[in-house]
Structure 1
Amino acid sequence: MQRTTPQASRHRANFACQLAFSRAKWCLFGLILWAFALTQLFTPTAHAQTSSGLGIAAVVNDDVISMLDLNARISMVMESAQLEDTAESRMRIAPQVLRGLIDEKLKLQETRDSGVKVTQKDIELALKDIAEKNKMSIAQLTAHLQSIGAPISTLSARIETELAWNYYVQSRLAKKIQVGAEEIKDEINRIQTNAGKPEYLLAEIFLPVESPAQESNIRSMADGLLMQMRQGAPFSALAKNFSRAPSAALDGDMGWVQFSNLDPALQRVVTQLKPGNASPPVRTLGGYYIIYLRNVRTSPGLGGSDAAVKLSQFHIPTPKNSDAATLQGLAQQLVATTRNMTSCAQLEAAGAKSGSLMSGSLGEMKISSLPETMQKVLAELKVGQPSAPIPTGGGLAVLMICERTDDNVDMEKVRADIRERLIQSRLNVAEQRKLRDLHRDAFIDVRI
């Protein structure tokens, strides 16, 4: 028997919701449905097995993962991800599914050793919730799972693991994490500094490569997932089932991401994507990414586009049909005149001498009401700072923000949200570290 101790990926699915054993919040619903998407998928399929249902797929310490366990979980994944259920497809995804099952065994062993118990009632409540959300009774849910080759016990086992692990994380790991006021202040400053810069609404699938021997298989799986997307499989379903990133619990959703916060390899890819497109597999230090671009925007900062500003402008008209050299000369003149100004009073006084009726105070307005070009300019400006010259009103103008009011921003809520986000980020790292330690100390014998 060969002893193997594969390293856990630094990217592991973070379940982004805090579970206790109460029935108040079944965030688990979104997690469990990584296994299947019942609502629209009632067409029976042929279930080719990866191999005989008899035998052992892996041994994890004192627990066994049987081929029956593996094949049942593969069936659930195939349906959830809307993949064609063929022998070839099952063989391709089997290693990833087995790795997930090994992680589950390690989690359940750790939680049981720590005294965490999940009652049958807890599991039944979760099953009932899943059935109701799919407009089924428990009996119908059981029958449907059986029809795709997965007994209800397969789903119950998944539920038990996630309930226990989330309770373990919140009760054992989360209490060790602290976030100070200075860290929150630094994050607020970072958000404001990045206002006006590009942001990308992204989703991801991450497949870790934990040893050189896995390289070919993981790349093949990444290529296969991309092919399934091109054939119509939803990115969200594939991310939920196959991604090992923390965002997997949220269908791969990463939210709005600053360009500077992306891995350099991903930066090169993201700038070439159009909204609605997925990237080819991208190799990074930890493994392969497939990135899906949903949208692009200019970062609004804390105040967002609803911030109110009081503006002044220094305007000079430009002759009709001015060539590029003339416009450049006038722009340089404006820059020289305004570069040392630090208040709207100075800007307005200079504007009064320019002879343009468009110079002076523009009053107070919402940033969102202005043209997009002006929004981008203002997003980067501080109060009392002259802008670069911009074309407007048949001429060129320098804008200045006299006052900025972010009354719509509840700073207490902002601080609370930032604190929660920083805690969750560190909790992700703590979970990943714990799972890596469990892998390191475990006896794992993979037999397929």
Structure 2
Amino acid sequence: MMTKKTRAISSFLLLATMALSSLAILNTARAQSLKIVAVVNDEIISYYDLESRIRMTIQSSQMQDTPATRQRLAREVLKVMIDESLKRQAGEEKNIQVREKEIDEQISYIEKNNGMTPGSLMKFFQASRIDPETLKSQIRAQIIWNKLIGRTMRRRVNVGEEEIDEQLAVLESKSELIQKRVFEIYLSMDTPDDESQVKEEIERIRNQLAAGANFTEIARNFSQAQTAALGGDKGWVLPSELPDELQQAVANLKAGEVSRPIETLTGMYLLKVTGERRLGGEEKDASIELAQISLPLNQDQGARDTILAQLNGLRDKIDSCDASPAAAKTLEGASSSRTGMVKVSNLAGNIQKVVADLEIGQTSEPVALSKAAMIFTLCRKQEAKSNLPSRRDIREQLTQARLELLARQYLRDLRHSAFIDVRL
């Protein structure tokens, strides 16, 4: 039988053992967090850095947080972090600095793009127990890289006035064509040995998107294109403006759809279309003024047909809007008026159809409404606002396309010349 003294000693030993066990677990966790998973030249990436980034990626991209997901993401995320280290190091060699204000502006951009209120992103990070520095480090690398490319390579890109003239002429000739708002995820293949791995990665990303992951956040976290900082947003483009391998895919995509993985000589793409618009502006957004003549309708079909025929007979007497009132007086019970300038989109659907293709002074076929039949003569038309880019926009688009190619080559060179030791 245990004495009081024996029980006290036993309790003390039990508590001491529990304390030592807890300390051992804590020390093991600390050691794990300090473990080095990669060395990039003279910079290390720790297990803690990688875990924080994986947690941020899962939460922001709306993936399922499971051990399998974390394990699957580890190498993909680490690859991106290695590239960011190379970009930061290259920028630091050129003494490129990033102000906190620039990082805050990028955070505000992310919040706006995701429909979040100002300050809510950092609150989300706190609630999810994600170190805010994880996001800031990513943004800092993106800003440094964009500044570096701008400073060192923009002067190597020359866009001439003749090129702009040619591009503008092509676009003006295609004003009836449909532009699409395109987002991209791009993974590069630097060597033939990368092909199988990149194909596996792009397929995993596609599956994550199919399961509900956020495209723009996936692009921001994984895409190796210059558009990554913008969530993959390439803006409004004609399919014909894209590289040959991407044109057909974008042409076939409808708003909300994501393409299959597309292989090119330099890498793999996933594309998403979020909207469509007419390059020359939407016809329904044009404003017009109409002269209209109307006759009351009744329910008798024979009488309705007679009234429609009478209105149709007036069309030959009207060669302008000024002639409409006089023509109306020749038909008993008819009245005439003008609409003033109205948007085509504000007119009833059946009226839009008959006035859509009218020339100035031309009169439409009769339209039967619920209580009246009408004809319309086009008096004035103000075309819809064109979506054609300005000369400045075209210059910037051509410049950015060429900078993209130079940036990819520069990053490939940095990878090949760097000391990279992956220990994952």
Common topology (TM > 0.5): yes
Task: Identify which of 246, 252, 257 aligns with 1:277.
Answer: 257
Cα distance in 2 for partners of 1:294, 1:373 equals 31
1:434 counterpart letter in structure 2: Y
- How far apart in 2 are the matches of 1:409 and 1:158? 37
Name 1:417's counterpart in structure 2: 393
Q: Residue type of the partner of 1:419?
A: R
Aligned to 1:76: 56
Which residue of 380, 401, 404 corresponds with 1:428?
404
Go from structure 1 to structure 2 and tell me whether the alpha carbon gap of 1:109 and 1:195 turns closer, same or farther (over 3 Å shift).
same
Unaligned ranges ≥5, structure 1: 1-48, 311-355, 384-391, 395-402
Q: Distance in 2 between matches of 1:373 and 1:284?
A: 46
Please state if 1:447 is matched with 2:423: yes
How far apart, in 1, do the equivalents of 2:390 and 2:103 lie?
37
Cα drift, residue 82 of structure 1: 0.9
Write the distance in 1 (CA, Å) between the matches of 2:279 and 2:317: 29
- Would the aligned equivalents of 2:263 and 2:269 in 1 still touch at CA under 8 Å? yes
Superposed displacement of residue 362, structure 1: 9.1
Q: Alpha-carbon deviations, 1:182-215, whole Å to 9, x = none? A: 2221221121122223433332222333334433
Question: What secondary structure is seen at the aligned counterpart in 1 of 2:162?
Answer: helix
- Summarize the alignment of residues 8-407 of structure 1 with structure 2, pairs less than 5 Å apart: 53-118=33-98, 134-135=118-119, 143-144=126-127, 147-148=129-130, 151-300=131-280, 357=316, 393=365
Over the matched positions of the two proteins, sequence identity in percent amounts to 33
Is the 1:201–1:257 Cα contact (8 Å) retained in structure 2? yes
Q: How far apart are residue 177 of structure 1 and its match?
A: 3.8
C-alpha distance in 2, partners of 1:373/1:271? Answer: 29
Alpha carbons 1:308, 1:405 under 8 Å: kept:
yes
User: Displacement, 1:264?
Assistant: 4.4
* TM-score normalised by structure 1 residue count: 0.59
Secondary structure at the counterpart of residue 202 of structure 1: strand
Deviations 1:272-325 (A, max 9, x none): 444322223233333332222334444327x98767899xxxxxxxxxxxxxxx
**Cα 1:123–1:236, aligned 2, differ >3 Å: closer, same or farther?**
closer
The aligned counterpart of 1:46 is none
2:285–2:344: 8 Å Cα contact kept in structure 1?
A: yes
**Mapped partners of 1:137, 1:281: distance in 2:** 31
SS at match of 2:212: coil
Tell me by how many angstroms 1:77 deviates.
0.9
CA distance in 1: counterparts of 2:386 and 2:277, whole angstroms? 20
- Shifted more, 266-275 versus 286-295: the winner is 266-275
In 1: Cα distance, 2:71 partner to 2:276 partner: 37
Q: 1-side partners of 2:269 and 2:353: how far apart?
A: 33
Q: 1:200·1:296 contact (CA, 8 Å) conserved in 2?
A: yes
State the Cα RMSD in Å. 4.7
Deviations 1:116-159 (A, max 9, x none): 2346x658866996899553597x577446x24xx344334334
User: Which residue type is aligned with residue 181 of structure 1?
Assistant: E
Q: In the alignment, is the contact (CA less than 8 A) between 2:187 and 2:224 conserved in 1?
A: yes
Say which SS state the counterpart of residue 394 (structure 2) adopts. helix
Could you tell me which amino acid in structure 2 is paired with residue 437 of structure 1?
D
Within 1, Cα distance between the matches of 2:406 and 2:286? 37
Alpha-carbon distance between aligned partners in 2 of 1:205 and 1:277, rounded to the nearest angstrom: 14
Distance in 1, Cα, partners of 2:257 & 2:394: 30
Please, which moves more after superposition, 247-256 or 68-77?
A: 247-256
Q: Deviations over 1:196-242 (max 9, x none)?
A: 23433332222333334433333333333333333322322222222
Aligned partners of 2:229 and 2:62: how far apart in 1? Answer: 17
Partner residue of 2:311?
Answer: none
- In 1, Cα distance between the equivalents of 2:395 and 2:102? 32
2:414 maps to which residue? 438
* Corresponding letter in the other structure for 1:261: E
Cα 1:274/1:160, change in 2 over 3 Å: closer
Aligned length: 332
Compared CA separation, residues 216 and 367, structure 1 to 2 (3 A): farther
Secondary structure (helix, strand or coil) at the match of 1:254 reads strand
The whole-number CA distance in structure 2 between the counterparts of 1:201 and 1:440 is: 35
CA distance in 2, matches of 1:372, 1:299: 21
Give a deviation string over 1:334-369, Cα, whole Å, max 9, x none: xxxxxxxxxxxxxxxxxxxxxx83997799x99967
Cα distance, 1:94–1:358 mapped onto 2, change above 3 Å: farther
Q: Is the 8 A contact 2:63 2:212 kept in 1?
A: no
Give me the TM-score of the superposition, normalised by structure 2.
0.62
Higher relative contact order (CA 8 A, sep 6+): 1
Does the 8 A contact of 1:123 with 1:159 survive in 2? no
Does structure 1 retain, via aligned residues, the 8 Å contact 2:183–2:233? yes
CA apart distance, 1:263: 4.2
How far the C-alpha of 1:84 sits from its partner, in A, is 1.2
The letter for the 1-side match of 2:69 is S
Partner-residue secondary structure (3-state), 2:280: coil
Distance 2:249 2:273 in 1: 10
8 Å CA contact 1:127–1:156 kept in 2: the answer is no
Contact residue 279 and residue 387 of structure 2 kept, 8 A = no
